[in-house]
Each structure stands twice: as C-alpha cells, then as structure tokens.
Structure 1
Amino acid sequence: MPWLADVSQYNDAAQLIATFGDDAGFEAAARADRSRDLGNHIHFCRWRQIERLIVLLSVEQAVGTVH
C-alpha cells in the first residue's frame, strides 16, 4: 500500500492518469528513475509512491479490509 505524505501526491497521480492514461504508471516510473539518476532520493521515493498509487487507483475493486 502506498503511503501518501499529502494530497499533492494524489493530485499528481490524477494528473498523470488524465494526461497519459494507461501509461501513467510508466511516466511516474520514468520520473522516479530520472530523480534517482540525478541523486535526488527524496523525489525518487515520492515518484515511486505515486507509481504505486496509480496502480492502486486502476484496480476496480476494494483493496484491503472493507468494513
């Protein structure tokens, strides 16, 4: 399960989905790789979490415990 630090990560995931559609996860992964290559571990982790969130948002059923 992704951990969200704030709503901006959800907003970024939603923007990537709106812009790239089914390829949104690939774009988030590319941004994470670019951040890693630049030595920016904070943005690397942030984009990896956004990538995981995109996958979670694409699932059409409840994930985890449902009360």
Structure 2
Amino acid sequence: MRLFANDLYRNFAIGFVIAAIGVGVANAEQVGDEMASPAHAAEAPMAPLAAPEFLIAPVTGEAD
C-alpha cells in the first residue's frame, strides 16, 4: 500500500468536483438578486461658510 496511490488523486478530484457543484447549486438563487442596477452617488453636502466676523484680515505693512 503506497501513500500516494493513483486512486487517492482521483478521489480528491471527484470530491472537488462534487463540492464545486454543491457550492454552485447553493448559490444559484443569489446570483439573480445581485445583478441589480448600478448605484448612484448622492450629492456632496455644502459646508456652511464662515461668518464675516470670524475671517482674519491681513495686517498691512508686514512682509509675507
């Protein structure tokens, strides 16, 4: 009895195919629900502008 006989690989392949079919059947109903119309982005909210009394006026005579 060998550790990696040819039937071991064949059994792994058969198990992989059966599991892939099972996953496909389990997710078949959800595929139709995911195909929806594309989403549209909302408009960006406008930030409130600062009141004039809070604006900093440049000082005259100073070097930049």
Q: Does the alignment reach a TM-score above 0.5?
A: no
Greater RCO, CA 8 A, separation 6+: 1
The TM-score bracket by the shorter chain reads: 0.3 to 0.5
Q: What TM-score comes out, normalization by structure 1 length?
A: 0.32
Structure number with bigger Rg: 2
Q: Which is helix-richer, 1 or 2?
A: 1
